[in-house]
A and B are shown apart, each in its own frame.
Chain A
C-alpha cells in the first residue's frame, strides 16, 4: 500500500517536471536550427531546417508531441542524428549505470571500512590520516580529481588507460573518481554513528553474551549506522548521475552524461528534455527504494504513525 501511495504521489511530480523541463529547455539561448545551419546560413535556410525539425509549431503543440514521444519512441527523435531518443539513451545507459553502481559500491565498502577503523582507533595516527583523506575527498571537485587520476595512473604510472570505455580497465578510473566523495561521506557518517552507539546498553548486552568485539561492531553497531547510510546512499546515487556529466566528459566515457553535454552543445532539445526527465524518474525511484530499504532495516519505521 505504501508503495502504491508513493507511486501515485510521483505522478504529479513527474508531470510538473516534464512541463518545467520542456519549457526551460525551450528557453535555452541559441536556435537549434541556426546551430545546425551554421553562422553563414541565410534566413531562408534556417527557416527550412526549423520547419523540418518542427520548431515552427506552437509551444503547446510541441509539448503534446513531447508527451506522445514518451508513449511512442519513434516520435521522439534527436535533432542531430535523426535516431529515436530512446535508442540513444538505451545505448548510453548501461555505461552510466555501471559507473554509478560501481562507484556507490566502492564508496560504501571503503567508507564503511575506513569509518569503522576511524571509530575504533580514535585519536591515533590512523584516525588522523583517514580524517584528512575524507576531508580531501569531500572537498575535491570531481573534475580536478579526474585529471589527477589520469596524470597519476595513466601518464605517470602507466597502469590504466586515460580515456575511453572499450575494456573493463577503462572503467577503473571513472569509478575511482566517482567513488571518492561517497566513500568520504560514508566514512564520516559511519564514524559518527559508531561513536554514538558504542556505549549503548544493547552493545554491552551483546558483549555479555560472549560475542567477539568484531562481531559486536560489525553485526550490531554497524547495522544501526547503515540505516543512516542508506538514506545518504540514495542522495549520493542521484548526485552521481548528475556528476556523470563531468566525469564522463573528463574520461571520454560514452554515457548519459556525455550524451547530455553533446546535446547541450548542439541544442539537441529532444535529447536534453528526455534525459533530464529520465534523471527525474531516477530520483523518484531511488527515493522510493531508499525508503523501502530503510523500512526493511529499521522495523520501527514500519509502524503506523499514531497521534
Chain B
C-alpha cells in the first residue's frame, strides 16, 4: 500500500475513533407545547420542570438526575468525604468550555456554587444549599465543599438542576438578561427568548463534550390554555404537548400520528392534617384515612391520572431509600366504628379542609368527592376551595394559627432527606401539621449525617413506617403525568419530577 494511502486510512480511522466524528450531525426541529413558560432560565430562581428541562440542555452540572431521578455523574469524575465528614471533594473533567469560550474549570464551578449559596443574589435555593458551606477550587480539576454541617445527601443536592454550572462572569455582566440568554456549557444554547410565547434552542458551536446536540432546533411554545395546547398537537404544529387534561386523552389517543403517554410522577397528594383538637386522636385520623375510596376517585374523578398512595413519598423520590406499604383499605363501616370509639357520633365532628383551585389534577372535584365520603361516615366537612394565593397562605401558616383542620398539598422533591426532614422534623420547615415524634427526630438527625447507603435505607425506612402508621396525613394518591407525543419523536424520557430529558431526542419526519 502506498505511504500516502496508508496515511489517509490511518487518518480516517483516527477520525472514526473520535466521539465527535461519529456523532451524527444535528437534524430536524422539535417543537414542544408547554403550559407554563419559565420566567427565567437562571437556576437561582427557576422552579419549573420545563425550566429544568432547558437547564439540562444548556448547562452542565457536576452530577445530574437520570430518567428515574437516579444520581449520575455529569462533569464529576469522582468524590470523597474527609474523615470527619465535613469536607466533600469532587474531581471533574477538564478542557471543557462555556458557550462563550470561557474555560469550565474548578474555579468556575466554585464561583457558580458560591453564587447559588449567596442569599444576596436572590437565590431561592440559598437556604436549601446552605449546608454545603463554601465551595473552593483547590486544583484545576478539584473542588472542595467545606460543609457547614455533615450532609450525607450532598450528591443529591449537587445533582439537582438548581446546582448546574453558571458562567458567573457572564451573569454579572448581563444582569437580569442572563435569565433569558444564559451561558452554560451544555450542547444547546438559547437562540431566541420571547417571554410568554416561545424559547428556541440551537446547538452550541462551543460544545466539546461527549453528548452533542441531536436536533437543529428545539422550540418551546407557550400555550397556557389546555384546548389551544391540544389543538397544536392535533394540527401537527408541535411534536410534544405537556399536561394533557383527562378529558382530552381519548381525542389525542384517537389521532393517527400521536399518543398520550401516562408516566409516573413523584407528586404525592395528601390531605395534611393540623394535629390539634380531634385530629390528635389516632382513631379519628385512621377513620379519615380508611373512609377514602382511592380507587374510585383516581378512576372516576381523576380519569386514571393518579394511582393510590402506598407510602408518603412518591415514586422517583430516591427509590432505593423509599418504602411502600400495603394499600389502605376502604372500609367506611370500620371508620364509623372508630369515630364512635373516639366519642364522635354522626354529625358530632365538624372539620374544615382547604383545597386549591387548579394546582393539582382535578383538585376541586377531588375535594368535593372527599367531602362526600367523609360526610357519609358522619363528619360535617366544610370544603374551603380557594385560589392558589390564598391556599399558599393557609397551608404555610404555623399550626397554632391555622383556622382550618387540613389542607390538600402535593409534595414532589427528589431528595428523601429533604422531604422527610422538612415535613416531619419537629418545628422545622414545611412541618405545618405540628407533627412531633422524638424517634423520628432522632432518625432524621442520624440520617442526615450518614453517608452509608445501607444504613440510610434502614433509617429512612423506619421514618417512613412511623409516618405511615401515625397518619399525620390522609394519604391520597400519586399523580401521573400525561404527555402527548407525536409518533415522529424518538428517545423521549421524562423524569418523575416531570422534567423532560430531551438531550437524546430525535425527530423522524
Across the interface, do B231 and A254 meet the contact criterion of CB distance under 8 Å?
Answer: no
Across the interface, do B389 and A163 meet the contact criterion of CB distance under 8 Å?
Answer: no
**Cβ-based interface call for A266 (8 A):** yes
**Cβ-based interface call for A141 (8 A):** no
Across the interface, do B197 and A39 meet the contact criterion of CB distance under 8 Å?
Answer: no
Across the interface, do A254 and B197 meet the contact criterion of CB distance under 8 Å?
Answer: yes
What residues on A are CB-neighbors of B45 within 8 Å?
Answer: 36, 80, 82
Contact with A along B21-45 (1 / 0, CB 8 A): 0000000000001001001100001
The B-contacting residues of A in range 131-182, CB under 8 angstroms, are 146-147, 150-151, 154-155, 158, 161-166
**Cβ-based interface call for A277 (8 A):** no
What residues on A are CB-neighbors of B423 within 8 Å?
Answer: 40
Binding-face segment, A44-52, A199-207, A226-234, A278-286: A44-52
A160: nearest chain-B partner, CB-CB: B235
Known: A30-B389, A155-B234, A254-B222. A36 touches B124 (CB 8 A): yes
Bound-state CA distance A31–B396 (Å) is 10
Across the interface, do A40 and B430 meet the contact criterion of CB distance under 8 Å?
Answer: yes
Across the interface, do A262 and B39 meet the contact criterion of CB distance under 8 Å?
Answer: yes
- Closest CB-CB distance, A171 to chain B, in whole Å? 12
Across the interface, do A52 and B231 meet the contact criterion of CB distance under 8 Å?
Answer: no
Across the interface, do A252 and B40 meet the contact criterion of CB distance under 8 Å?
Answer: no
**Cβ-based interface call for B71 (8 A):** no
Which of B229, B231, B418 contacts A40, CB < 8 Å? B418
Bound-state CA distance A6–B232 (Å) is 47
Across the interface, do B395 and A39 meet the contact criterion of CB distance under 8 Å?
Answer: yes
Bound-state CA distance A51–B309 (Å) is 38
**Cβ-based interface call for A35 (8 A):** yes
What residues on B are CB-neighbors of A36 within 8 Å?
Answer: 45, 47, 124
What residues on A are CB-neighbors of B176 within 8 Å?
Answer: 77, 81-84
**Cβ-based interface call for B131 (8 A):** no
Known: A40-B430, A48-B119, A52-B120. A154 touches B235 (CB 8 A): yes
- Interface class of chain B by DSSP: mixed
**Cβ-based interface call for A76 (8 A):** no
Bound-state CA distance A210–B422 (Å) is 88
Which of A151, A155, A251, A266 contacts B39, CB < 8 Å? A266
How many of A's residues come within 8 Å of B, CB to CB? 58
A39: nearest chain-B partner, CB-CB: B430
Across the interface, do A38 and B389 meet the contact criterion of CB distance under 8 Å?
Answer: no
**Cβ-based interface call for A118 (8 A):** no
Contact with B along A23-49 (1 / 0, CB 8 A): 000001111001111111110111011
- Closest CB-CB distance, A117 to chain B, in whole Å? 33
**Cβ-based interface call for B149 (8 A):** no
Bound-state CA distance A81–B122 (Å) is 11
What residues on B are CB-neighbors of A253 within 8 Å?
Answer: 196-197
Which of A45, A250, A259, A262 contacts B128, CB < 8 Å? A45
Known: A39-B392, A164-B198, A265-B388. A250 touches B225 (CB 8 A): yes
Across the interface, do B127 and A262 meet the contact criterion of CB distance under 8 Å?
Answer: no
Contact with A along B91-131 (1 / 0, CB 8 A): 00000000000000000000000000001101010111000
Contact with A along B381-414 (1 / 0, CB 8 A): 0000011111011011000000000000101010
**Cβ-based interface call for A91 (8 A):** yes
A255: nearest chain-B partner, CB-CB: B196
Known: A92-B196, A150-B231, A265-B388. A163 touches B39 (CB 8 A): no
Bound-state CA distance A266–B36 (Å) is 11
What residues on B are CB-neighbors of A41 within 8 Å?
Answer: 124, 127, 429-430
Which of A52, A78, A164, A265 contacts B119, CB < 8 Å? A52
Which of A150, A164, A248 contacts B227, CB < 8 Å? A150
Interface residues on B, range: 35 or more
What residues on B are CB-neighbors of A92 within 8 Å?
Answer: 195-196
**Cβ-based interface call for A291 (8 A):** no
Known: A40-B411, A49-B122, A252-B222. A82 touches B197 (CB 8 A): no
Known: A39-B430, A166-B198. A34 touches B223 (CB 8 A): no
**Cβ-based interface call for A258 (8 A):** yes
Known: A80-B45, A166-B198. A252 touches B225 (CB 8 A): yes
Across the interface, do A165 and B227 meet the contact criterion of CB distance under 8 Å?
Answer: no
Among the interface residues A46, A162, A248, which one has the most CB atoms of the partner chain B within 10 A? A162
Known: A34-B392, A49-B122, A166-B197. A40 touches B413 (CB 8 A): yes
**Cβ-based interface call for B303 (8 A):** no
**Cβ-based interface call for B177 (8 A):** yes
Contact with A along B211-254 (1 / 0, CB 8 A): 00000000001111101110110110100000000000000000
Bound-state CA distance A216–B59 (Å) is 70
**Cβ-based interface call for A267 (8 A):** yes
A259: nearest chain-B partner, CB-CB: B196
What residues on A are CB-neighbors of B395 within 8 Å?
Answer: 39
Bound-state CA distance A255–B194 (Å) is 11
**Cβ-based interface call for A249 (8 A):** yes
Which of A35, A44, A49, A162 contacts B389, CB < 8 Å? A35
**Cβ-based interface call for B277 (8 A):** no
Which of A34, A44, A77, A249 contacts B127, CB < 8 Å? A44
Top 8 A-B residue pairs of the complex, sorted by shortest distance between their CB atoms = A30-B389, A254-B196, A45-B127, A82-B176, A29-B390, A254-B197, A162-B231, A80-B39
Q: What would 23 A/B residue contacts be, using CB atoms closer than 8 Å?
A: A30-B388, A31-B392, A38-B47, A39-B411, A41-B124, A42-B127, A42-B430, A49-B122, A49-B124, A52-B120, A52-B122, A53-B122, A82-B179, A147-B225, A147-B228, A154-B235, A163-B33, A165-B194, A165-B197, A166-B197, A252-B223, A252-B225, A258-B196
**B residues near A, CB below 8 A?**
33, 36, 39-40, 45, 47, 119-120, 122, 124, 126-128, 175-177, 179, 194-198, 221-225, 227-229, 231-232, 234-235, 237, 386-390, 392-393, 395-396, 409, 411, 413, 418-419, 422-423, 428-430
